[in-house]
């Protein structure tokens, strides 16, 4: 008899809730992972950096497991097929996994849970990727918060020492199932090739984070943690990180709470996937000009700060938060292009892509989100540049031609675009 720890967005072997509970239960544990074709088949870029990242992380985990006489078991296909395969290969008594709040994952886990329990295998799930989830932070009337500031206050009021306590998996590694290494499918076998190999480090740079509140808004500086991808795939523990964050810088801790806030919103309001959080914003009649969208994607709008951001994204898979706000506002307000187009573009490109945070960020910029900027707030790219890139260092790096004659003319004039946005938004919202 064995049990499984089914890894998903929790790719680490210590301080991992599901793994801890599986190991503690005493039945030998096989860590398993599915390269899910429901997800992979939708990726157009066969050099997807995130697939490379996951593959690399799994290889490292495999090395650690081999040292302990154990092995990962990795399946390429659908989760349904994976469990049919595995339950014929092993005598699986129980499967342990961590909660995932995305609609696809919820439906997947329900289906797999049914499939397993029908065959007598129990399915146990735990909170791991956030500190407080689902209904743990609610208003006095039992309803979920939709505004960040009171949410974060209640979040702090709810937090106890217990929530940040690590799960000491390392104490129980002799409960790992012993077997020779099971071969990991190569990227090539899955139809992918190796993308970018240089990923941000998962070590938190304490000296930098101490000054996070002063540096985080300036895209020319290395002023943020770059931990997005590690939080996305669980290669760092949010509990350990939050402990450090609270000691180093309150503003940094607050950003981690924004992450929890959007996960909570996605859990309670799954309609935000594909729809405006505030339904009346779905009445906006977007211009959706494809040529302009193409210029935005390529970083050819004629607004240097917007173009710098889009080029940084296209080349590196990263964009600074300040510039994410500017480029998203530009697409939705200046160009009146549906935020869902921008959301999908970011989803395809961002190394740290996370459905909850990306959707939250886009709806914030478009004005349709739960705690969004009011619709009449239209970022002025020139003023944003003066405030946050006044020496033009970031712009010069990504748009070196911006002062020359060869630089493209603005796709639309700011004042014209601002007026147009107010009219179109105003009309839609008055009607609602």
324 binds ligand FAD (CB under 6 A): yes
Q: Which residues pair with 6 in a beta bridge?
A: 32
Which span sits near ligand FAD by CB under 6 A: 45-53, 283-291, 321-329, 400-408?
321-329
Q: What are phi and psi of 124, to 5 degrees?
A: -120, 135
Q: Residue 225 CB, nearest distance to ligand FAD (Å)?
A: 3
Q: In the β-sheet with 2-7, what is the strand arrangement from edge to edge?
A: 73-77, 29-36, 2-7, 92-98, 122-126
Where do we find the tokens 């290669």? Answer: 235
| Contacts (Cβ under 8 Å, ≥6 apart) of 22 | 3, 4, 5, 29, 94, 96
Question: With respect to ligand FAD, which residue has the nearer C-beta, 32 or 236?
Answer: 236
Q: How many residues of this chain interact with ligand FAD, rule: CB under 6 A?
A: 27
Which span sits near ligand FAD by CB under 6 A: 21-29, 74-82, 122-130, 361-369?
361-369
131 binds ligand FAD (CB under 6 A): no
Question: With respect to ligand FAD, which residue has the nearer C-beta, 31 or 369?
Answer: 369
What is the spatial distance between Cα 330 and Cα 417, in angstroms, rounded to a whole number? Answer: 9
Does 296 participate in catalysis according to the annotation? no
| Residue showing the smallest CB distance to ligand FAD in the complex | 361
What is the spatial distance between Cα 359 and Cα 343, in angstroms, rounded to a whole number? Answer: 7
Does 286 participate in catalysis according to the annotation? yes
Beta strands in 104-235 (DSSP E): 122-126
What is the spatial distance between Cα 177 and Cα 19, in angstroms, rounded to a whole number? Answer: 12
Structure tokens, 232: 């996305």
Does 339 participate in catalysis according to the annotation? yes
Q: Which residue pairs from 235-240 have beta carbons closer than 8 angstroms and sit at least 24 positions apart in sequence?
A: 235/11, 235/12, 235/57, 235/202, 236/12, 236/202, 236/204, 237/12, 237/14, 237/15, 237/16, 237/166, 238/128, 238/129, 238/130, 238/131, 239/15, 239/131, 239/163, 239/164, 239/165, 239/166, 240/15, 240/166
What is the spatial distance between Cα 179 and Cα 420, in angstroms, rounded to a whole number? Answer: 65
Binding residue for ligand FAD, selected from 48, 352, 371, 389, defined by CB under 6 A: 352
Q: Kindly name the residue from 80, 136, 286, 314 that is annotated as catalytic.
A: 286
Residues 26-65: x/- map of binding to ligand FAD (CB under 6 A)?
----------------------------------------
Structure tokens, 351: 């190394």
Structure tokens, 332: 């939705």
What is the spatial distance between Cα 41 and Cα 190, in angstroms, rounded to a whole number? Answer: 10
Question: With respect to ligand FAD, which residue has the nearer C-beta, 84 or 348?
Answer: 348
Binding residue for ligand FAD, selected from 273, 321, 392, 422, defined by CB under 6 A: 321
Q: Kindly name the residue from 80, 255, 275, 314 that is annotated as catalytic.
A: 255
Structure tokens, 221: 């500086």
Q: Kindly name the residue from 56, 80, 133, 258 that is annotated as catalytic.
A: 258
Question: With respect to ligand FAD, which residue has the nearer C-beta, 216 or 333?
Answer: 216
Q: Kindly name the residue from 289, 314, 321, 380 that is annotated as catalytic.
A: 321
Q: Residue 121 CB, nearest distance to ligand FAD (Å)?
A: 33
Binding residue for ligand FAD, selected from 82, 169, 272, 365, defined by CB under 6 A: 365
Alpha helices, H only, 234-302:
238-248, 250-268, 290-298
Q: Residue 353 CB, nearest distance to ligand FAD (Å)?
A: 4
353 binds ligand FAD (CB under 6 A): yes
Q: Residue 153 CB, nearest distance to ligand FAD (Å)?
A: 17
Which span sits near ligand FAD by CB under 6 A: 105-113, 134-142, 322-330, 413-421?
322-330
Q: Kindly name the residue from 267, 296, 362, 364 that is annotated as catalytic.
A: 362
* Cα-Cα-Cα-Cα dihedral sign, residues 57, 62, 65, 71: positive
Query: Per CB under 6 A, which of residues 212..271 are in contact with ligand FAD?
Result: 216, 224-228, 231, 255-256, 258-259, 262
Q: Residue 316 CB, nearest distance to ligand FAD (Å)?
A: 12
What is the spatial distance between Cα 9 and Cα 204, in angstroms, rounded to a whole number? Answer: 19
Does 86 participate in catalysis according to the annotation? no
Positions touching ligand FAD (CB under 6 A) are: 216, 224-228, 231, 255-256, 258-259, 262, 321, 324-325, 328, 346, 350, 352-354, 357-358, 360-362, 365
Point out the residues that are catalytic: 255, 258, 286, 321, 339, 362
């Amino acid at each position: 008899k064995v049990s499984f720890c089914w890894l998903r967005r929790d790719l680490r072997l210590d301080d991992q809730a599901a793994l801890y509970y599986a190991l503690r239960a005493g039945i030998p544990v096989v860590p398993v992972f599915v390269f899910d074709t429901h997800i992979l088949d939708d990726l157009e870029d066969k050099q997807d950096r995130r697939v490379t990242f996951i593959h690399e992380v799994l290889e490292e985990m495999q090395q650690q497991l081999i040292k302990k006489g154990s092995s990962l078991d990795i399946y390429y296909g659908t989760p349904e097929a994976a469990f049919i395969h595995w339950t014929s290969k092993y005598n699986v008594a129980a499967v342990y996994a961590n909660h995932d709040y995305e609609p696809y994952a919820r439906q997947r886990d329900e289906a797999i849970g049914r499939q397993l329990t029908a065959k007598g295998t129990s399915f146990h799930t735990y909170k791991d990727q956030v500190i407080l989830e689902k209904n743990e932070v609610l208003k006095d009337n039992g309803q979920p918060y939709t505004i960040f500031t009171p949410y974060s206050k209640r979040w702090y009021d709810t937090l106890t020492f217990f929530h940040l306590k690590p799960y000491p998996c390392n104490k129980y590694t002799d409960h790992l199932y012993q077997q020779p290494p099971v071969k990991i499918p190569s990227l090539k076998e899955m139809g992918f090739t190796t993308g970018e190999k240089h990923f941000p480090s998962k070590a938190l740079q304490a000296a930098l984070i101490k000054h996070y509140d002063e540096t985080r808004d300036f895209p020319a500086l290395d002023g943020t943690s770059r931990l997005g991808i590690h939080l996305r795939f669980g290669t760092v523990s949010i509990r350990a990180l939050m402990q450090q964050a609270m000691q180093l810088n309150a503003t940094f801790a607050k950003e981690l709470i924004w992450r929890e806030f959007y996960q909570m919103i996605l859990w309670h309001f799954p309609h935000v996937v594909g729809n405006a959080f505030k339904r009346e914003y779905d009445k906006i009649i977007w211009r959706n000009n494809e040529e302009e969208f193409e210029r935005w994607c390529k970083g050819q709008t004629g607004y240097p700060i917007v173009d710098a951001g889009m080029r940084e994204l296209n080349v590196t898979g990263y964009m600074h938060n300040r510039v994410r706000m500017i480029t998203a506002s530009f697409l939705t307000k200046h160009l009146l292009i549906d935020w869902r187009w921008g959301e999908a573009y970011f989803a395809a490109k961002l190394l740290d892509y996370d459905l909850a945070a990306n959707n939250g960020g886009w709806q914030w910029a478009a004005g349709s989100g739960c705690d969004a900027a009011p619709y009449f707030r239209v970022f002025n790219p020139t003023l944003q540049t003066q405030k946050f890139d006044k020496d033009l260092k970031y712009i010069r790096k990504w748009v070196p031609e911006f002062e020359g004659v060869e630089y493209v003319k603005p796709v639309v004039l700011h004042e014209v675009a601002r007026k147009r946005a107010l009219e179109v938004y105003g009309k839609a919202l008055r009607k609602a």
